[in-house]
Amino acid sequence: MTQNEFMQIVNPFKDKLYRLAKRLLISSEEAEDATQEILMKLWAGKKKMERYANVEAFAMTMTKNFCLDRLKSKQSGNLKLVHSNYTDGQTSLQKQVEVKDSLDWVGKIVEGLPEQQRLILQLRDVESYEFEEIEKMLDMKPTAVRVALSRARKAVREQLLEKHRYGIG
């Protein structure tokens, strides 16, 4: 496999690898290092890549495991899994502040979720992976993935409703 062939395979999902690493490791620098490490491991094992049915899912699993190992080695449990890169140049300053406030609230709520729920919420709702892909990446049964996602969404929804209803009869 040539370098160009490798890049054609990896380019479509390398940004997803970075986003997942950033959500898990928080630091941009560490996420870049993790992504580079995964890409180097993929390149080193390029002869085996043809055996994988879904290289992207395999790479995402590698990224998740690498980041979790790094976090365990640092004994850090502070994972953050919320997209906060939403910007719209057409919105008013007040609307931008409201959106940022909402994203901050969702981020705080998601940080309070159990690790597995945070990861499943990230993969399904932010990265748009199919349930089957998540099941393979996390080595979970279909029902367990759906239940964890449902519980995560319910917790986020309930806490947002509680926040917005605060002070209302």
Q: What are the domain boundaries of the chain?
A: 1-78, 90-169
The pLDDT, as a whole number, for residue 148 is 93
Confidence of residue 101 (pLDDT cuts 50, 70, 90): confident
What's the topology of domain 90-169? Arc Repressor Mutant, subunit A (1.10.10)
The DSSP output letter for 57 is H
pTM over 0.75? The answer is no
pLDDT tens per residue, range 22-51: 888 888 888 899 999 999 999 998 888 888
Residues 6 or more apart from 133 whose CB is under 8 A from it? Answer: 54, 57, 60, 123
Residue 30 host element (H or E): helix 28-44
Q: Say what the pLDDT of residue 74 is.
A: 63
What digits encode the pLDDT tens for the residues 46-89? 888 888 888 898 999 999 889 888 877 764 444 344 444 445 45
59's tokens:
């790479």
> Which residue has better confidence, 73 or 9?
9
Domain 1-78: CATH class, spelled out: mainly alpha
C-beta separation of 36 from 14 below 8 A: no
Question: ∠ CA 17-21-24 to the nearest 5 degrees?
Answer: 145
